[in-house]
Copies of this chain bind each other. A is one copy, B any other.
Amino acid sequence: MAMAQRLKLKIQLYCGTEIAMGPGKADLLDAIAREGSISGAARTMDMSYRRAWLLTDAMNRCWGEPLVETAPGSAKGGGARVTPYGQAVLGHYRALQAKVHGTSDCADYAALAKAMLPEPRISQKS
């Protein structure tokens, strides 16, 4: 079985008690860059506009500069773009993800993968 399916690595960066960057926020940045708006990004990610806006707002408050810029004078329909600063932060996060995934492919992981069953046994106790 492929390693990616059995090993899940989650990298979260905390700013105080707020998650400044994590898998969901990174995917949202990608979606905003692709769709050109928070509402469009929310649609493709199957989340509410409100949730996408809150995640974007949290990101924008955690870094030295905003990661996402929205077009002025528009509440919901307006455009949004990932700033160059946001692109740089996203790039470093993706690189960190790739590095961590790469180094996890080691003897310890191999030993765990070998010891683990392909599927769990059925529970004996009801």
Contacts and interface: CB of A to CB of B under 8 A. Distances in A.
Given A100-B104, A115-B89, A116-B20, A13 B9 contact: no
A119 B15 contact: yes
How many chain A residues sit at the interface, stated as a range, is 35 or more
Main DSSP-derived SS at the A contact region: mixed
Contact of A100 (B9, B21, B119, B123): B9
B100 A64 contact: no
A71 interface: no
A53 B10 CA distance: 26
Interface of A: 5-16, 18, 20-21, 57-58, 61-64, 85, 88-89, 92-93, 95-96, 99-100, 103-104, 106, 108-109, 111-112, 115-123, 125
